[in-house]
Amino acid sequence: MNFTAVASIYRFEMARFFRTITQSLVSPVLSTSLYFVVFGTAIGSRIQEVEGISYGAFIVPGLIMLSVMTQATSNASFGIYFPKFMGTIYELLSAPVNFLEITLGYVGAAATKALFIGIIILITAFFFVDITIAHPFAMIAFLVLTCVSFSLLGFIIGIWAGNFEQLQLIPLLIITPLVFLGGSFYSVTMLPPVWQTITMFNPVVYLISGFRWSFFGTADVSIGLSLIAIAFFTGACLVAIWWIFRTGWRIRQ
Amino acid sequence: MSSIVSVSSLGKAYAGGFEALKSVNLEIEEGEILALLGPNGAGKTTLISTICGITVPTSGTVVVGGFDTQTAFRGARNLIGLVPQELNLEPFETVMNTLRFSRGLFGKPRNDAYLEDILKKLSLHDKKDSKVMMLSGGMKRRVLIAKALSHEPRVLFLDEPTAGVDVDLRKDMWNVVADLKADGVTIILTTHYIEEAEAIADRVGVISKGEILLIQDKAEMMAQMGKKQLVVDLAAPVTKVPAALAAYGLEIGPDGASLIYTYDTKGERTGITTLLNDLQKAGLQMADIQTRQSSLEDIFVGLVKETA
Ligand SMILES: Nc1ncnc2c1ncn2[C@@H]1O[C@H](COP(=O)(O)OP(=O)(O)OP(=O)(O)O)[C@@H](O)[C@H]1O
Ligand SMILES: [Mg+2]
């Protein structure tokens, strides 16, 4: 294992993040604050409690997940797409590194950035609503796992994308709807029975449910199922990446 | 066996079926400088990319320093530095950081003093904290070279290293290459400047349409294939070659002011003495004589034309 290489990639990618730290952080904090003002305060004051939790507090885990998932995906996809676009990928391909090391470097950096943003949003949330975290360690674990698994997904998208439009396409067409329909702003139990069943095919439901459980101790689906779902998702992404590097798909001619 | 790079029956067909390399065999000796010449699209970059792991061969094998580039890629790639033809660089980073990245990627511990030393040799030290995007094209080319050297490779591939580099710096670069050679680094370069190959290479390979047409010691090649010409400037112009001199196969120069005699340097007798005697006997007055040697360029153009 070439750890020096992993660290080099990680550091190089983090440098990109810190170069644009203001943009990187201002926009998620701003948009989250807007959500709190609109949903939490304005609309939330008219909504009854959901599962015994004030609506403003109820949406906090969903909001964090929403940002973390989109940020992890876009960071990781851009991180690997950019070298492809600039041609600097030649260096990765000719270096003594294997797929695991490249993935660790890029995905690690993207996940760190997303985690950073998730934590900032959590801190922002404390300014708007009262929240207590029932299971802090589980909360961190769910957050980290989500950052990692969506960074893996983003990494795959970045390798697949042939242009900037495609880079935006998957997050826009698939991830955003899945996240919005995954119970970010409502409890799955609020849906009609048919939709409750359909929703169970949305992997994001398991992540948000598990994450919300770590805050409030209540969940839409069992916590064990949440963990299995996230492990399965992560594993599937890893297998896909391993296959990509083995076959050179879209990167090695 | 002193080959450090050994290419056997290497074939590469790109997606779409185009055969960019057709069963190439090539042995590169440790410590030599090999220049690859060939017209645009000959397959030079493809050959280098395939050895370095950027493209996957369709058939054949490449062994670098005893490591198969497919099955033992780490060992092979550890030894290799690559300067690509295109100016592929991360625009927003500083020169020094891109070098640190390259060195780290190859698993080497951080060593800024070493990196700064490379930058000094390449006359880039004053740019070490500049962002790459603020450099000129020639400077970017040198950053690429510095990156390739950052991890102390034993085999260095330079794909048109001097394209877009001014004459002074080109000389600097040749000095860097000479220093590397003195340290025992094996260097493979492609170039379209034949004088460059002539100046620095030990061996020259000519590649065209995915095949190596010839690979030979530079001096030997020039001796074997190099033709020399004797140009006799005449005091009074002639319109045709005198019949008495027909056996020499002379050509008439521009305006009939000179006669050109082409001879082979590898022949035992060049025929110069008898020619000069015969010229005198034919009553031609000589104003001046000079000889010229055909360059690698003539050889190269001749070879590629032959196979076209
Ligand atoms: N990615 C690719 N897909 C398809 N064909 C390619 C690809 N890259 C190169 N080729 C083709 O392979 C052939 C060899 O290209 P290569 O870049 O190796 O030539 P070269 O000798 O380096 O030329 P130059 O002197 O212009 O750099 C060309 O005909 C080129 O069109
Ligand atoms: Mg080329």
Give the ipTM: 0.88
List B289's β-bridge partners, or say none.
B232
Cα gap B47→B25, rounded to integer Å: 11
The torsion angle over the Cα atoms of residues B19, B84, B90 and A237, rounded to 10 degrees, is 40
pLDDT digit string, tens, across residues A159-186: 999 899 998 888 888 888 888 888 888 8
Q: Among partner residues A9, A87, A248, which is closest to B88 by beta-carbon distance?
A: A87
- Residue A115 Cα to ligand 2 middle (Å): 43
pLDDT of B308 reads 62
How far is Cα A90 from Cα A9, in angstroms, rounded to an integer?
14
**Nearest chain B residue (CA) to A6:** B105
pLDDT confidence band for A59 (50 / 70 / 90): confident
**Model pLDDT for residues A133-142, shown as the tens digit of each residue:** 999 999 999 9
A5 and B89 within 8 Å at the Cβ level: the answer is no
Neighbours of A99 (CB within 10 A): 14
Residues of B in contact with A23 (CB under 8 A): none
Contacts of A18 in chain B (CB under 8 A): none
Q: A86 and B89 in contact by Cβ < 8 A?
A: yes
Cβ neighbours of residue A240 under 8 Å, at least 6 residues apart?
A156
Ligand 2: centre distance to CA A190 (Å):
62
Residue A253 in tokens: 């001619």
Q: Supply the DSSP symbol for A44.
A: G
Neighbours of B171 (CB within 10 A): 12
CA A51 – CA A53 distance, rounded (Å): 6
Asked if B93 and A15 come within 8 Å (Cβ–Cβ), the reply is yes
Probe residue for ligand 1, chosen from B21, B24, B44, B162 as the CB with the greatest number of ligand atoms within 8 Å: B44
B54 touches ligand 1 (CB under 6 Å): no
- Which ligand 1 atom sits nearest the alpha carbon of residue B46? 18
Å from CA of B280 to ligand 2 middle: 52
pLDDT on residue B226: 64
Contact A4 B109 (CB under 8 A): yes
Show residues of chain A in contact with B108, CB under 8 Å: 4
Question: Using an 8 Å Cβ cutoff, are B98 and B142 in contact?
Answer: no
Q: Which residues of A touch B104 (CB under 8 A)?
A: 4-5, 7-9, 11
The percent of residues above 70 in pLDDT, for chain A, comes to: 100
CATH class, domain B227-294, is alpha beta
- Cβ neighbours of A5 in B, within 8 Å: 104-107
Same CATH topology for B3-223 and B227-294: the answer is: no
Contact A91 B102 (CB under 8 A): yes
Q: Given an 8 Å threshold on Cβ–Cβ distance, is A95 in contact with B52? A: no
The protein residue with its alpha carbon nearest to ligand 1, atom 6, reads B14
* A76-91: average pLDDT: 94
Give the residue carrying structure tokens 């943003």.
A117
Q: Which residue puts its alpha carbon closest to atom 11 of ligand 1?
A: B20
Instruction: Write down the domain spans for chain B.
Output: 3-223, 227-294
CA distance B142 to chain A (A): 15
Query: Which residue's alpha carbon is nearest to atom 27 within ligand 1?
Result: B40
The Cα–Cα gap between A124 and A127 comes to 6
Of the residues B18, B105, B147, B149, the best mutation for testing chain A's interface (the one with the most A CB atoms within 10 Å of its CB) is: B105
CATH number for the domain formed by residue range(s) B3-223: 3.40.50.300
* Interatomic CA distance for residues A233 and A227, integer angstroms: 10
> What is the greatest pairwise CA distance in chain B?
77
Per-residue pLDDT at A44 exceeds 90 = no
What's the rounded Cα separation, in Å, for the pair B278 and A34? 101
> For chain B, which ranges sit under pLDDT 70?
1, 224-226, 266-267, 294-295, 307-308
Task: State whether B86 and A83 contact (CB < 8 Å).
Answer: no
Q: Is the pLDDT of residue A187 over 70?
A: yes
Q: Which two tokens stand for residue B291?
A: 């000889």
Q: Relative to the CA of B39, which ligand 1 atom is closest?
A: 25
Q: Are A135 and A218 in contact (CB under 8 A)?
A: no
